[in-house]
């Protein structure tokens, strides 16, 4: 069984540019969550996609957007990059969305390290 994969591994961009990060979910998983982990900090929730629809969003501006495709892979897009966007971006997939007492474990990918200069 293939785990969660992310591409690229590393990326260097210039302030003001746009970037797209990709995530392939684990087989059978229909939910993808994205997190930003700044240096020395814990991961912060950006948003979640469930069956191709956004299903929850953290405190991030609209220039952070995403997509989920019919095969449940996902993209994170960041427009107008700022220096503070430099971070490790983590993707996690799960069998479903948690709620009403149900919990579905999130499986994390290795992350994409984005550096904005």
Partner 1 sequence: AQSVTQLGSHVSVSEGALVLLRCNYSSSVPPYLFWYVQYPNQGLQLLLKYTSAATLVKGINGFEAEFKKSETSFHLTKPSAHMSDAAEYFCAVSYPRIGNTPLVFGKGTRLSVIA
- Give me the residues that bind partner 1 (CB under 8 A), please: 4, 33, 35, 40-45, 48, 55-56, 58, 90, 92, 97-103, 105-106, 108-111
d(CA 106, CA 3): 11
Nearest to partner 1 of 74, 97 (CB atom): 97
> In the block, which residue shows the tokens 């970037």?
19
Q: Give least dist CB 13 to partner 1, A.
A: 19
**Sign of the dihedral through C-alpha 7, 12, 15, 18:** negative
User: Which residue's CB is nearer to partner 1, number 31 or number 85?
Assistant: 31
Q: How far is the CB of 38 from partner 1 (least distance, A)?
A: 10
Q: Are 22 and 7 in contact, with CB atoms under 8 Å apart?
A: yes
Q: Using CA atoms, how far apart are residues 7 and 61, in angstroms rounded to an integer?
A: 23
Residue nearer to partner 1 on the CB measure, 85 or 97: 97
Task: Tell me how far apart the alpha carbons of residues 19 and 26 are, in angstroms, rounded to a whole number.
Answer: 23
| Residue 116 beta carbon to partner 1: minimum distance, rounded to whole angstroms | 19
Nearer of residues 17 and 41 to partner 1, judged by Cβ: 41
């Amino acid at each position: 069984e293939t785990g969660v994969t992310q591409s690229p591994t590393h990326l260097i961009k210039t302030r003001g540019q746009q970037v797209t990060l990709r995530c392939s979910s684990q087989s059978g998983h229909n939910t993808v969550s994205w997190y930003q982990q700044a240096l020395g900090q814990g991961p912060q929730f950006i948003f979640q996609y469930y069956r191709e629809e956004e299903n929850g969003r953290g405190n991030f501006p609209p220039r952070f957007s995403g997509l989920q495709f019919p095969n449940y892979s996902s993209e994170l897009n960041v427009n107008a990059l700022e220096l503070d966007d430099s971070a490790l971006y983590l993707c996690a997939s799960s069998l479903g969305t948690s709620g009403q007492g149900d919990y579905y474990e999130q499986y994390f990918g290795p992350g994409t390290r984005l550096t904005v200069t």
